[in-house]
Chains A and B, each alone.
Chain A
Amino acid sequence: MVVPLEHVIILSGLLFSIGVMGVLFRRNVIIIFMSIELMLNAVNLALVGFSRYHNNVDGQVFVFLVMTLAAAEVSVGLAIIVALFRNRQTVNINEMNLMKN
C-alpha cells in the first residue's frame, strides 16, 4: 500500500508545529531540546516523503546528513545542559537570562 504524499506532509507539518510550540512555551531545557529534535525529524520525514514521490534518492541522502548532524548536536547540547545544571542547579529556562545585562 502506498501512503499518499498529502498524508506525509500533514504528519510532518503537525510534528514540526508541535516542536515549535514546545520550543516556545515549555520551560524545561531538556524538553525544549527534545522539541528541537522533533522539528528536525519532522523535516526528515518530509524529505523522505518527497524523495519517494519524485523517485529521487537525493532527499534520503540528505536525511542521513541531518541525522548525523543531529547526533552530534545532541551530544554537544546535552553536555551543555549538564554543565548548566551543575552550575545553577536548575533546568528552568526562565532562570537562564544571562543575555540581559
Chain B
Amino acid sequence: MIGLIPFFPLLGFLINGLGGKRISERMSGIIASVVVGLSFIVAITLFGEFLKIGTPLEQTLFTWIAVGKFTVSFSYVLDSLSLVMVLVITGVGLLIHIFSIGYMKGDPGIQRYFSYLNLFTFMMLTLVMSDNFLAMFLGWEGVGLCSYLLIGFWFEDPVKAAAGKKAFIVNRIGDFGFLLAMFLIFSRFGSLKFMDVLIPQQIAQIPIEIVTAITLLLFLGATGKSAQIPLHIWLPDAMAGPTPVSALIHAATMVTAGVYLIARCGILFAASEITMSVIAVIGILTAFFAATIALTETDIKKVLAYSTISQLGFMFAAVGVGAFAAGIFHLMTHAFFKGLLFLAAGSVIHGMSGEQNMLKMGGLKQKMPTTYWTMLAGVAAISGLPLLSGFFSKDEILWNVYSSQFGGNILFGIGLFTAAMTAFYMFRLFFMTFHGDRRWSKEVSPHESPKIMTIPLIMLAVLSVVGGFIGIPESWGGHNFFHQFLQKSTQDATGYITHQYSSGLLLSENILMILSIVAAIGGLLLAYRFYVQRPDIPGKISKSLSIAYKLVSGKYFIDELYGLLFVRPLRNGSELFLKKFDISVIDGIANGSGKVMLVLGNKLRRIQTGVMQNYAAVIFLGVISIIFYLYLK
C-alpha cells in the first residue's frame, strides 16, 4: 500500500516519457496530474490509518545491495515526519501539476515537461519515504537530476542550459559531503538504516568528534540542496526554468530536503553542540543576507528566489536550535505560500507575455483580479501578518531561536530584523506589480489567466490563510496539534535540548509575537510609503547609499568571488594541463604506438613475397632447425 504512493508518479513518468509525441498535449497533462492525485488520495488514506494505529507503516520492496555484512534493502516507511512531507509533496504538487496544464499550453516539449515533473515527484517521495541513508541519497540525486533537467528545460537558450549546469555542479559539492558522511556512518555504526543509526545509546558510544564530523558533512549536503551560504548561488539562476517548476522544486519541495534531512537525523545532530550552533548561525545569516539582496532585485522571480533562500534560512535556524517541529511546520506553511507566490508570479508572467521585470509592470490590479487577491494572501502570509499561516510558523521559529541554548538575543535580533525586511520586500514586489502607474509597453495586453491556472491559486491561497491553525502556539492556551503529531519522530531529538525557558528570559512568547507583528506591519507600511505614495524615495536612498546599494544589488559579488577563487584557477589549470601534458604526453603515447606499428609493419612486409617456394623453404629450414635442436639436446 505504501509503495503505491511513489509508484503512481513513476507510472506517469513512464507513460509520458515513453509515449512522447504520441500522447496529445492535453492528455499528457491530465495523465501527469491524475497520477499525482492518486498518490495524494493514497497518502490521505494512509494518514487516516496512521492516526488510528499510531505506529509507523513500513513496506520492504526488495533487497537492493547485499555485500558481506553490508546490506541495504529498498523499503519505504511512513512515520509522522515523512507523512507531513508526503502530503505536502503530493498535495501542493498536484495543484502545481494542474497549474502547469494551463501555463505550459502550446509548448512543443510538453510531454517531456510532464514526464520530468512526474519523475521528480517519484524521486522526492523516495527521498522522504526511504528508511535508510542510501535510498534517501538515491532520491536526493534523483531530484537533483530532475532539477537540472527542468531548469534547462528550454535548453536552446544557452543561458538557461548554463543555469541548469550551475545548479547541478554546485549541488555536487554538497553531495560530496553527504557521501562522506554516509561512509563515516557505515564505518562507525555498521549500518545505513535510520532505525539502527538514530538510537541515543548508539550515538553516545561514538566519539563526539566523529558525530560532529558526520553531522557537519550532512549539513554540507543540506546547504547544497537547500541553497544556504556558502552554496546558495545556484538557486537564483535556477529561475531560468518554467515558473511552475520554480514553485514545485525550488520553493515547495526539493530545496526543503536539507531541512528534512536534519529533522530526520535530529537525534544525531542534537548530539553535537558545535554542529547545532553552526547550523543556527548559518541559517540566520542566510536569512538575513538573502533578504537584503531581495530588497533591490527587480526581476519578480528573482525576488521570490532570494525570498526562498531567506525562508530556508529561517527553517535551518529552527532546526539548528533544536526546534525540529517548528522547522517542519515552517517548511509546510512555506510550501503553501511560496508555492502560491510562484504560481501567482507565473500567472502575472503569463498575462504579461513573458515579462519578468517589475519595472515594466504596475497597475495590474484591475487587469488580473484573481491573481491580485490570491497573491495578496501569499504576500500577507509570508510577511507574517497575524493569524495567517506564516505568522504562526515564523513566530514559533523566532521564539525558539530566542529561548534555545543554541540561539540567543543576537540571533533573535537578526531574525526579527529579517522578518521586517521580508514584509518590506514582499509588499514592494506586490505594490510594484499591481499598484502604481502602468509601466508596460503598448504591445503587451495583460489579461487574467484561464480557470485551470486560477483555481490552484485560489486553493493554495486558502491553505496559506488557514494552514497555520494546525499549529496554534501553546501560550495561546490551544493545543498544538502539529507538535503532538510530529512528537513521535522528534521527541528523542528534543530530549537532548534543554530549553532555558524560565531563567534569564526577559520576554515571553506573547511579547515576542507582538514584536514580530510590529516588524511585519512596519515593513508593510514602509513599502506602501516607498512604492505607492512616494515612488521617488527609493531612488534617492539608493543614490545616498551608493556603496551599500552596489554591494547588495551585486549580490555581494559572491558569484564573482567564486569565479575568481575556484572557476578561473580550475579553468586555467585545465588549459595548462591540456597543453603541457595531455597533448604532448598522452597523445604522444597514443600516436607514438601507432607510428611504431606502422614502421614495423613496413619492415616486416618484405618477408611476404607471395612466392610459394620461399614459404616452403622457410618451413623446411624450420623443420631442420627443430631436428638439430632435439638432436643436440
Q: Which residues of A contact B (CB under 8 A)?
A: 20, 23-25, 93-94, 96-101
Contacts and interface: CB of A to CB of B under 8 A. Distances in A.
A24 B618 CA distance: 10
B616 A99 contact: no
A94 B612 CA distance: 9
Nearest to A96: B612
Contacts of A100: 608-611
Interface in B598-618: 608-613, 616-617
Contact of B612 (A20, A25, A99): A99
Interface string B24-50: 000000000000000000000000000
A101 B612 CA distance: 14
B501 interface: no
Given A20-B620, A24-B620, A93 B609 contact: no
By size class, the interface of chain B is under 10
Contact of B610 (A20, A23, A97): A97
Contact of A24 (B608, B609, B610, B617): B617
Given A23-B616, A24-B616, A94 B610 contact: no
B620 A97 contact: no
A101 B617 CA distance: 20
B613 A98 contact: no
Contacts of A93: 611-613
A15 B613 CA distance: 19
Interface in B169-195: none
B27 to A, nearest CB: 64
A71 B157 CA distance: 81
Nearest to B612: A93
A74 to B, nearest CB: 19
A23 B623 CA distance: 15
Given A24-B613, A99-B608, 13 more contacts: A20-B620, A23-B616, A24-B616, A24-B617, A93-B612, A96-B612, A97-B609, A97-B610, A97-B612, A98-B610, A99-B610, A99-B612, A100-B611
23 contacts: A20-B620, A23-B613, A23-B616, A24-B613, A24-B616, A24-B620, A25-B613, A93-B611, A93-B612, A93-B613, A94-B611, A97-B609, A97-B610, A97-B611, A97-B612, A98-B610, A99-B608, A99-B612, A100-B608, A100-B609, A100-B610, A100-B611, A101-B610
A90 B118 CA distance: 79
A21 to B, nearest CB: 10
Contacts of A101: 610
Nearest to A97: B610
A99 B610 CA distance: 5
Q: Is the interface of B mostly helix, strand, loop or mixed?
A: helix
Contacts of B616: 23-24
Contacts of A97: 609-612
Contacts of A96: 612
Interface of B: 608-613, 616-617, 620
A44 B174 CA distance: 85
Nearest to A94: B611
Contacts of B609: 97, 100
A97 B612 CA distance: 7
Nearest to A25: B613
B8 to A, nearest CB: 68
A99 B620 CA distance: 19
Nearest to A100: B610
Nearest to B610: A100
A96 B610 CA distance: 9
Contacts of A99: 608, 610, 612
A25 B608 CA distance: 18
Nearest to A20: B620
Contacts of B617: 24
A89 B33 CA distance: 84
A80 to B, nearest CB: 13
Nearest to B609: A100
Contacts of B608: 99-100
Nearest to B621: A24
A23 B609 CA distance: 17
A29 B611 CA distance: 13
Contacts of A24: 613, 616-617, 620
A81 B612 CA distance: 15
A28 B609 CA distance: 19
A48 to B, nearest CB: 22
A96 B613 CA distance: 11
Nearest to A21: B620
Nearest to B611: A97
A99 B609 CA distance: 8
A78 to B, nearest CB: 17
Interface centre among B612, B616, B620 (most CB of A within 10 A): B612
Nearest to A26: B613
B485 to A, nearest CB: 87
A33 to B, nearest CB: 12
A90 B609 CA distance: 20
A39 B259 CA distance: 92
Nearest to B617: A24
Those 6 A-B pairs whose CB atoms lie nearest each other, nearest first: A100-B610, A97-B610, A99-B610, A24-B617, A97-B611, A23-B616
Contacts of A98: 610
A8 B599 CA distance: 52
A98 B611 CA distance: 8
A43 B20 CA distance: 77
Contacts of B610: 97-101
Nearest to A29: B612
Which of the listed residues B608, B613, B620 has the most CB atoms from chain A within 10 Å of its own CB? B613
A23 B620 CA distance: 10
B623 to A, nearest CB: 10
A68 B611 CA distance: 30
